[in-house]
């Protein structure tokens, strides 16, 4: 382990004015507080924070960050308090140490929703000061370097988490070398066989070409001196994981030098970079389609460079990257370049990304996505996908993740364009909205004012922006529908207790369940989060003391054929309706239960003839409703549910409950409970629903919704 002086000397190499007292004090504190602690590998614990500090020194970071690195585990693992850190090291270090501790305590990969919420906190906390994240990345990097000391199950968990969160984050921050190291360590843990096979071929290829690399460097240097460009030329092996990823993506083998080696020209000025490019292109033939100018069009993480591939010695492909020193610092250090030093001064690298605006671009999705899962999805997508660039009809470039569709394109121009999109032309040809866009395509969006986002759109888009806009709009429409539906349910519920529905009564109820407005209550009713009876209990609790409302008004009916004095009640299992053939089962002391003639429950009574009563409905049943239920399979399309409810309303039936059972991309199944006059009434309603073009299937359902939810529906995909 480095001692305090050795560590300070490392810093002084790039920052001669380093605050030696501060670093020495942090060193002593850390060493004392971690005394007697050991890592899983058996080494002294304090070695870990020092290694973390060394990683950050490698990025030429400021004293505050280095001191934070030395102290980063003290709050979590030792008796040192944040108060003490504050009084000894000042506010900014205390804030950073506290931030790193909090990040460490987040369980980022535990369970879906929790993970999403934690990830959101993670981003929020680091957006205060990105140096928190720099220390966290360095911390994770050293932990990954020493991962072999952990049990295998823990290695796998850490590697997955690193691959999912930390590697893309490092990439997003432009810290390529850290990203590559993360990926390689994870690759070794997660897929050692693949890595071995890559390495075998890699070494073979390297052996064959071993003399070639210095020769190519010499060739390039010679060309540069001819145009008087002073530059550092180097050859660099590619990492096994990045080779693997390319193989996976392109599904081709790696056989060429350019598959494992890249050459780099680091110039003193931007002008030199272009001159160097010209020299290289003049001497060797450029491979078409491989030239990229990231200097005039930098990547969003600040990366600037010229990329080209030429046919070099013996026609072998040579990949060349050309950039200035400053650009190279940003390419390797990314966001960290903002805090870098040169000759003892905090060096203002003109190409460094402003950390604040960078963090803002990452947290942009916050307000839009209410649901943390939506947000996580958004951020993950943003980080994982390479981009495609497409053009608007006016030639404007729109950047999208690979796999994006014209709908994504529309939403990235403007939410209104997305919402009103009815079709698209790609390169002048009409194509479906789910078509995946390719680089360089020109996309025209056709809009119509009446258009609204459709439910199946959610599965067609890839970008977080489009997803959250579509969800917002659908949620809004669903709410409007739910309110309309809730209104009908509420009216019916009030009627049953002989009260009038008033705004005030609804607001009273709303407050009792923590909502605000009458609309909230109606929406809850419509969404089946609340039933009519529950609503009445909220508003008129005194009415329900000690008893439940009779569930079926048919209780009072005298069925033809009942023994004198006996009372009949319709069974919940089959809910028979007037007009249907029925049978009564007498239960000792409990009256007679009326079943429909084909009720499954009757099988249980088959042996007991004496219990059976032949009954008929009376000639007159009054005008009250009988509870019945239907199962409807609907196309998943905005407005359909509302249409079904108006159909039922037109038939003068009351909806008393609605429940959603399966919601899929293309259809969903709902359970509707309603009051009908008789079997004929129900059949009329069913034919009206079935006749609708957006209904796949509608059938009567006997029994309760609980019974339904416990069986697998058979009518779902037929």
Q: Enumerate the active-site residues.
A: 76-77
Closer to Mn ion at the Cβ: 139 or 184?
139
Write the DSSP symbol of residue 354. P
Least CB distance from residue 420 to Mn ion, whole Å? 51
List binders of Mn ion among 154-173 (CB under 5 A).
none
Give the pairing type, strands 695-701 and 626-635: antiparallel
564: phi then psi, degrees, rounded to nearest 5: -55, 135
**110: burial class by Cβ within 10 Å (0-12, 13-18, 19+)?**
exposed
Pairwise CA distance, residues 560 & 149, whole Å: 83
Contacts of 85 (CB under 8 A, 6+ apart): 71, 74, 75, 93, 94, 97, 98
Check residue 565 and give left, alpha or beta (phi > 0: left; psi -120 to 50: alpha). Answer: left
Q: Applying CB under 5 A, which of residues 62, 129, 139, 319 lies at the interface with Mn ion?
A: 139
Write the DSSP symbol of residue 625. -
Contacts of 367 (CB under 8 A, 6+ apart): none
330: phi then psi, degrees, rounded to nearest 5: -65, -40
Give the binding range for Mn ion (CB under 5 A) out of 139-147, 240-248, 497-505, 685-693.
139-147
**193: burial class by Cβ within 10 Å (0-12, 13-18, 19+)?**
exposed
- Contact at 8 Å (CB) between 631 and 713? yes
CB atoms within 10 A of CB 41: 13
Give the binding range for Mn ion (CB under 5 A) out of 136-144, 153-161, 321-329, 697-705.
136-144
Closer to Mn ion at the Cβ: 73 or 419?
73
For tokens 């999705």, name the residue.
Answer: 365
Residue number of the CB closest to Mn ion reads 139
| Per-residue interface string for the shown chain with Mn ion, residues 538-567, x marking contact by CB under 5 A | ------------------------------
For tokens 């903002």, name the residue.
Answer: 338
Closer to Mn ion at the Cβ: 5 or 41?
41
Least CB distance from residue 109 to Mn ion, whole Å? 17
- 3-class secondary structure, 633: strand
C-alpha count within 13 angstroms, C-beta hemisphere, residue 281 = 17
Least CB distance from residue 139 to Mn ion, whole Å? 4
Closer to Mn ion at the Cβ: 175 or 641?
175
Check residue 183 and give left, alpha or beta (phi > 0: left; psi -120 to 50: alpha). Answer: alpha
Closer to Mn ion at the Cβ: 73 or 164?
73
For tokens 């064959």, name the residue.
Answer: 208
Least CB distance from residue 52 to Mn ion, whole Å? 6
For tokens 């990452």, name the residue.
Answer: 362
Least CB distance from residue 69 to Mn ion, whole Å? 9
How far, in Å, are 128, 215, 302, 328 from residue 231 at the CA level? 38, 16, 22, 12
- 3-class secondary structure, 604: helix
Interface size with Mn ion, residues (CB under 5 A): 2
Closer to Mn ion at the Cβ: 146 or 456?
146
How far, in Å, are 187, 241, 468 from residue 190 at the CA level? 5, 11, 33
Pairwise CA distance, residues 74 & 3, whole Å: 18
Closer to Mn ion at the Cβ: 73 or 481?
73
Closer to Mn ion at the Cβ: 50 or 631?
50
List binders of Mn ion among 236-275 (CB under 5 A).
none
Which sign, positive or negative, has the C-alpha torsion 270, 272, 278, 280? negative
Pairwise CA distance, residues 134 & 138, whole Å: 6
Query: Please, which residues bridge with residue 424 across strands?
Result: 431, 445
Pairwise CA distance, residues 323 & 338, whole Å: 18
| Per-residue interface string for the shown chain with Mn ion, residues 49-88, x marking contact by CB under 5 A | ------------------------x---------------
Closer to Mn ion at the Cβ: 170 or 327?
170
Closer to Mn ion at the Cβ: 105 or 517?
105
**Binding residues for Mn ion, per CB under 5 A?**
73, 139
């Amino acid at each position: 382990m480095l001692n305090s002086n050795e560590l300070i000397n490392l810093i002084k190499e790039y920052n001669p004015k380093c605050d030696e007292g501060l670093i020495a004090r942090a060193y002593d504190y850390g060493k004392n507080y971690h005394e007697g602690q050991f890592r899983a590998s058996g080494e002294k614990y304090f070695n870990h924070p020092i290694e973390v500090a060394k990683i950050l020194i490698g990025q030429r970071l400021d004293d505050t960050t280095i001191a934070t690195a030395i102290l980063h585990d003290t709050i979590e693992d030792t008796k040192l308090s944040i108060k003490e850190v504050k009084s000894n090291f000042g506010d900014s270090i205390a804030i950073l140490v506290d931030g790193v501790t909090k990040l460490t305590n987040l369980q980022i990969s535990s369970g879906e929703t929790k993970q999403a919420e934690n990830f959101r906190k993670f981003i929020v906390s680091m957006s205060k000061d990105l140096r928190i994240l720099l220390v966290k990345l360095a911390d994770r990097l050293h932990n990954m370097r020493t991962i072999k000391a952990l049990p295998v199950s823990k290695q796998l968990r850490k590697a997955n988490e690193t691959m999912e969160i930390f590697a893309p984050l490092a990439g997003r921050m432009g810290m390529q070398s850290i990203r590559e190291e993360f990926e390689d360590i994870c690759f070794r843990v997660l897929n050692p066989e693949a890595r071995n096979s890559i390495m075998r071929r890699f070494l073979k290829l390297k052996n064959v070409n071993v003399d070639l690399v210095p020769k190519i460097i010499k060739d390039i240097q010679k060309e540069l001196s001819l145009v008087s460009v002073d530059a550092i030329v180097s050859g660099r092996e590619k990492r096994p994981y990045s080779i693997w990823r390319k193989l996976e993506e392109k599904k081709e083998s790696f056989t060429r030098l350019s598959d494992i080696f890249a050459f780099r020209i680091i110039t003193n000025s931007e002008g030199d970079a272009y001159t160097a490019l010209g020299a290289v292109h003049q001497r060797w033939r450029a491979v078409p389609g491989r030239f990229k100018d990231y200097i005039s069009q930098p990547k969003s993480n600040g990366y600037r460079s010229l990329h080209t591939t030429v046919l070099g010695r013996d026609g072998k492909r040579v990949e060349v990257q050309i950039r200035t020193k400053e650009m190279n610092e940003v390419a390797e250090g990314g966001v960290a370049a903002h805090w870098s030093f040169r000759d003892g001064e905090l060096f203002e690298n003109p190409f460094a990304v402003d950390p604040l605006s960078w963090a803002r671009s990452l947290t942009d999705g916050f307000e839009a996505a209410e649901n943390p899962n939506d947000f996580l999805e958004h951020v993950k997508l943003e980080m994982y996908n390479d981009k495609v660039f497409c053009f608007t009809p006016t030639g404007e470039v729109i950047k999208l993740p690979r796999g994006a569709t014209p709908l994504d394109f529309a939403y990235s121009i403007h939410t209104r364009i997305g919402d009103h999109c009815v079709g698209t032309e790609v390169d002048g040809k009409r194509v479906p909205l789910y078509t995946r866009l390719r680089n360089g395509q020109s996309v025209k969006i056709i809009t119509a004012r009446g258009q609204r986002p459709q439910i199946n759109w959610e599965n067609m888009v890839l970008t977080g922006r489009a997803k959250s806009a579509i969800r917002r709009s659908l949620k809004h429409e669903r709410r409007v529908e739910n309110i309309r539906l809730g209104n009908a349910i509420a009216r019916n519920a009030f009627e049953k207790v002989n009260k009038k529905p008033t705004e005030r009564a609804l607001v009273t109820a709303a407050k009792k369940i923590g909502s605000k407005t009458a609309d909230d209550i109606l929406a809850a009713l419509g969404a089946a989060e609340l039933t009519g009876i529950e609503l009445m209990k909220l508003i008129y609790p005194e009415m329900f003391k000690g008893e439940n409302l009779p569930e079926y008004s048919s209780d009072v009916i005298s069925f033809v054929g009942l023994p004198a004095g006996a009372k009949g009640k319709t069974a919940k299992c089959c809910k028979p309706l007037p007009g249907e053939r029925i049978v009564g089962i007498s239960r000792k002391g409990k009256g007679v239960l009326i079943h429909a003639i084909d009720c499954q429950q009757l099988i249980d009574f088959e042996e007991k003839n004496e219990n059976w009563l032949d009954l008929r409905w009376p000639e007159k049943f009054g005008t009250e409703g009988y509870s019945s239920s239907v199962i409807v399979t609907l196309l998943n399309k905005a407005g359909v549910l509302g249409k079904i409810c108006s159909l039922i309303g037109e038939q003068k039936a009351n909806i008393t409950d609605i429940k959603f059972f399966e919601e899929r991309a293309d259809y969903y199944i709902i359970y509707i409970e309603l009051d009908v006059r008789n079997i004929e009434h129900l059949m009329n309603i069913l034919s009206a629903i079935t006749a609708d073009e957006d209904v796949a299937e509608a059938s009567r359902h006997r029994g309760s919704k609980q019974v339904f939810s416990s069986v697998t529906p058979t009518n779902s995909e037929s």
